[in-house]
Structure 1
Amino acid sequence: MRKWKRVETADGARYRSALAAHEAALLESLVNSLMDMLVDRETSSPTDELEELTGMRTGHSQPPEDDTMLRLLPDFFRPQHDHPAGSRTAESLNSALRSLHEPEIIEAKRHAGQRVLDTLPAGGGKFEIAEDDAHCWASCVNDIRLALGTMLEIGADGPDHLPPEHPMAGHLDVYQWLTVLQEYLVLGLMGKR
């Protein structure tokens, strides 16, 4: 992974970088896995009669049971203290907000993932993307990092290192590589070297 270089063109800012063949293949696999998780969540939402009448899409009203998917689709409202009306108020609010907004959030995540797949250099190599695509890359890589970080149980205290014999040791290396990829891209978007 090379740093991202911002280049000003007549059509606006463009971002250049390069990926080794194995990096491009790994990123493609990770994005496809993320997309599969999102499609599974989207297609498992219950049918809503109101949606059929109005055309307004609705999604799940309950949060995902899987910790990884819950990290990608967290609750909308987290009370800072106990609500005087009880915890059911927060649950009801989250249920309504999730049902209304989860489909468009999933759609945005899927769009970002598809833009990465569409702009990823097949077999690795140098490539250049538009600013909108760079934002999609940043969003998608962030989602992959969130998912992988949840699986690795990464918190404020690490882990920074796993023994080589640990079954998730390779996954931590991938997480760290994604962190660097994201950092370089964000710095490029900010116009910093």
Structure 2
Amino acid sequence: MSHVTKTRQGFQVRLEPEETALLRALMEQLLALLGDAPGPDDELASMGIAENAVKPDDPVLARLFPDAYRDDGEAAGEFRRYTEIGLRDGKREAARAVLGALGETDTDTVLDEKRMQEWLRALNDVRLALGTRLDITEDWYEEAGALDPRDPRAPMFAAYDWLTMLQDGLVHALEEPPLEEPPLEEPPPE
């Protein structure tokens, strides 16, 4: 079971091997969903401007990149044109930070405050994606509790629930004082 502790060195995240594998797979899927960054030859994109920025048809991408102006399509499109590339880049960077911290086989990692914030953003993005695919509402716990374990959605509900617990652990660790570590033993006097 995942565990997050604040120490003087940073935030220690301890995951089971299965949790590490799940988190890696989810971050890789998020990166695939976000797509590749524009190439260096795209002049507008190099200035952070999306040439054809439209609300995505995919409900998950529409949730990750919602319209800024719901009642004004033109203003929403213009806002999206100037912000979407930067938002996508930030989401990619956060997902890559999680992948970079996981290592191949290690299940323990120590995060500094910046990495902790990246983890929180990436976990939130994955939870939004899963929640949209599962059509999770405020009453989702009732549905998940009554879900037949043979239901093909059961693993996705379990992953969503686990991500929620991990994210909650990270948030609580941010608020806590560091654990006191035992003092180093001093050598005996000569």
Quick check: TM above 0.5? Answer: yes
Give how far 1:160 is off.
2.9
- Partner residue in 2 for 1:177: 162
Give the AA of the match of 2:16. A
- Partner residue in 2 for 1:160: 144
Task: Give percent identity, aligned residues only.
Answer: 31
Gaps of 5+ in 2: 179-190
Give a deviation string over 1:4-59, Cα, whole Å, max 9, x none.
Answer: 111224xxxx100211111111110100000011115x559xx97x728xx52322
CA RMSD in angstroms, aligned pairs only:
2.2
Distance change >3 Å, CA 169–CA 133, structure 1 → 2:
same
Larger Rg: 2
Q: What are the residue-to-residue correspondences of 1:82-161 with 2, within 5 Å?
A: 90-158=72-140, 159-161=143-145
For the pair 1:30 / 2:23, whether they are aligned, the reply is no
TM-score scaled to structure 2, two decimals? 0.83
Distance change >3 Å, CA 51–CA 34, structure 1 → 2:
same
Q: Give distance in 2, aligned partners of 1:183 and 1:129.
A: 16
For the pair 1:77 / 2:55, whether they are aligned, the reply is no
TM-score scaled to structure 1, two decimals? 0.82
Gaps of 5+ in 1: 80-89
